[in-house]
Amino acid sequence: METKKLLEEADKYVMHTYGRFPVALRKGRGMRVWSTSGKEYLDFLGGIAVNVLGHCHPKVVVTIQKQAQRLIHVSNLYHIEPQVRLAKLLCTHSFADKVFFCNSGAEANEAAIKLVRKYASEQLGAGRSGIISTLNSFHGRTLGALTATGQEKFHKGFGPLVPGFTYVPFDDLDSMKAAVSPETCAIILEPVQAEGGVQVPSPEYLKGVRKICDDNGILLILDEVQTGMGRTGTLFAHEQFGIVPDVMTLAKGLGAGVPIGAMLATDKVAASFQPKTHASTFGGNPLVCAAAITTLEVILEDGFVLDHVNRISRYFMGRLEQLKNVFSDKVVAVRGMGLLIGVELVRDALPVVNACMERGILVGTAGSGNVLRLTPPLIVEEKDIDVLITTLEDVLEK
Ligand SMILES: *Cc1c(COP(=O)(O)O)cnc(C)c1O
């Protein structure tokens, strides 16, 4: 379809839930995507941390083709081999003993919220439904996940929300400690607040939160929907903070682009989900699980995450720091872990995003709009970063 007509029909037929750029993307390979009008872009947004292996990674493509020929979907009333294999792979490489599969980050967080409440009602006693979340967090758009999201701008107009949630400032252990009450059953956190502007907590924060949970007999849910799957330089971000959660949620990069979410837990907690307590029709179907197995296998290939992501991250952060020093009147801060990077600007980042787009580079925004969000595929190379930096120099100059 011709681009102009496509944009007209999008306006006419698709609900206006996104402030979309006037570009339609139709093809991708590795770090690159091409629009319907034939323009090439270097993709530093990566589907917002989804396309971890770049676009159309050959191994993922072949896996999807083969699995689509064999079996696309069956009900979860039957055993599904790729689902079992993926669950085993995830448990082998994490603290978890059991996995529940769903289709998105929000759904994974809904499952986590339901699981901790069920666990609390059975193991901790009546009235233990309280969940503490952090301000500026992001956990998704369904009502439970939306309520867990500590940002009023996302809540507006959707009340009444789910009862039982309280919010405390991120990276503030005293407030967290003070918020725990006899009703509290869990704390939900992103190890690094991503949507909230790429906020990396102090090194001791997660240990402190873990201790508060242990001291009070409450559960820790880590939302690694964006930070997981090698994004921060380890398979899961919490590994770098020296703690393990009781429950962890994944989605975004898990299937390198196919819609899949997962909620992982220890046996102790997972035991509260029994037949007829929670379910998903599509969750963990053969097609998406096969894609996720291949994704995980490629990420776990010797040294890929630890070596490449960490090496390239150091290079990337170094180049951005230089940029900040040159443009100290425009760049406030460079933050991040691995390839989850935020560049805080003195003003709205959208003009910079648009200018980069004109010059053939896709980047995003985060926080209150003044942070450039860089979440490229984990396969990004120095030469791609050099192109981005040169472009940013040109854009910031103007
Ligand atoms: C994107 C995101 C979600 C929501 O995921 P969806 O797949 O859009 O529902 C939840 N938590 C975090 C940390 C995210 O980054």
CATH topology of domain 59-302: Aspartate Aminotransferase; domain 2 (3.40.640)
CATH 3.90.1150.10 in the chain is located at 3-57+303-397
How much of the chain, in percent, has pLDDT values that exceed 90? 96
Average pLDDT over residues 227-239: 97
Ligand 1 pocket, residue 384 CB under 6 Å: no
**Ligand 1 atom nearest to 259, measured from its CA:** 7
C-alpha of residue 138 to centroid of ligand 1, in Å: 7
Q: Which two tokens stand for residue 125?
A: 């006693």
Ligand 1 pocket, residue 194 CB under 6 Å: yes
41 phi/psi in degrees, rounded to 5: -125, 145
Q: What is the pLDDT of residue 394?
A: 97
Q: What is the pLDDT of residue 1?
A: 77
Whether residue 112 has pLDDT greater than 80: yes
Whether residue 162 has pLDDT greater than 90: yes
Whether residue 72 has pLDDT greater than 90: yes
CA atoms of 83 and 363, how far apart (whole Å): 33
Ligand 1 pocket, residue 106 CB under 6 Å: yes
Could you report the per-residue pLDDT of 280-339, keeping only the tens digit for each?
Answer: 999 999 999 999 999 999 999 877 677 999 999 999 999 999 999 999 999 999 999 999
Contacts of 58 (CB under 8 A, 6+ apart): none
Whether residue 227 has pLDDT greater than 90: yes
Q: How many CB atoms lie within 10 A of CB 180?
A: 18
CATH 3.40.640.10 in the chain is located at 59-302
C-alpha of residue 373 to centroid of ligand 1, in Å: 15
Q: What is the pLDDT of residue 243?
A: 98
Q: What is the pLDDT of residue 135?
A: 98
Query: 16-55 burial string, b = 16+ CB within 10 Å, else e?
Result: eeeeeeeeebeebebbbbebbeeeebbbbbbbebbbbbbb
Average pLDDT over residues 198-203: 97
C-alpha of residue 249 to centroid of ligand 1, in Å: 9
Q: What is the pLDDT of residue 387?
A: 98
Ligand 1 pocket, residue 221 CB under 6 Å: no
* pLDDT band of 393, cuts 50, 70, 90: very high
Report domain 3-57+303-397's class.
Answer: alpha beta
Q: Which of 177, 258, 249, 168 is nearest to 218 (CA)?
A: 177
Average pLDDT over residues 345-367: 96
Ligand 1 pocket, residue 373 CB under 6 Å: no
Q: What is the pLDDT of residue 30?
A: 98
Amino acid letter, 271: A
Q: Whose alpha carbon is nearest atom 11 of ligand 1?
A: 139
C-alpha of residue 161 to centroid of ligand 1, in Å: 18
C-alpha of residue 141 to centroid of ligand 1, in Å: 8
C-alpha of residue 38 to centroid of ligand 1, in Å: 30
Ligand 1 pocket, residue 265 CB under 6 Å: no
Contacts of 286 (CB under 8 A, 6+ apart): 67, 70, 71, 72, 73, 74, 80, 81, 82, 83
Average pLDDT over residues 330-355: 97
Q: What is the pLDDT of residue 164?
A: 98
Q: What is the pLDDT of residue 48?
A: 97
Ligand 1 pocket, residue 102 CB under 6 Å: no
For ligand 1, pick from 138, 188, 238 the residue to mutate: most ligand atoms within 8 Å of CB. 138
Average pLDDT over residues 241-257: 98
**Ligand 1 atom nearest to 105, measured from its CA:** 5
Could you report the per-residue pLDDT of 180-196, keeping only the tens digit for each?
Answer: 999 999 999 999 999 99
* Residues carrying an active site annotation: 138, 223, 252
Q: What is the mean pLDDT of the chain?
A: 97
Average pLDDT over residues 379-396: 98
Ligand 1 pocket, residue 190 CB under 6 Å: yes
Contacts of 120 (CB under 8 A, 6+ apart): 128, 129, 185, 186, 219
Q: Whose alpha carbon is nearest atom 6 of ligand 1?
A: 105
Q: What is the pLDDT of residue 264?
A: 98
* pLDDT band of 398, cuts 50, 70, 90: confident
**Ligand 1 atom nearest to 251, measured from its CA:** 7
**Ligand 1 atom nearest to 140, measured from its CA:** 4
Least confident of 67-71, 231-235, 280-284, 298-302: 298-302
Q: How many CB atoms lie within 10 A of CB 257?
A: 25
Contacts of 253 (CB under 8 A, 6+ apart): 49, 50, 51, 52, 228, 229, 230, 231, 295
Ligand 1 pocket, residue 223 CB under 6 Å: yes
Ligand 1 pocket, residue 372 CB under 6 Å: no
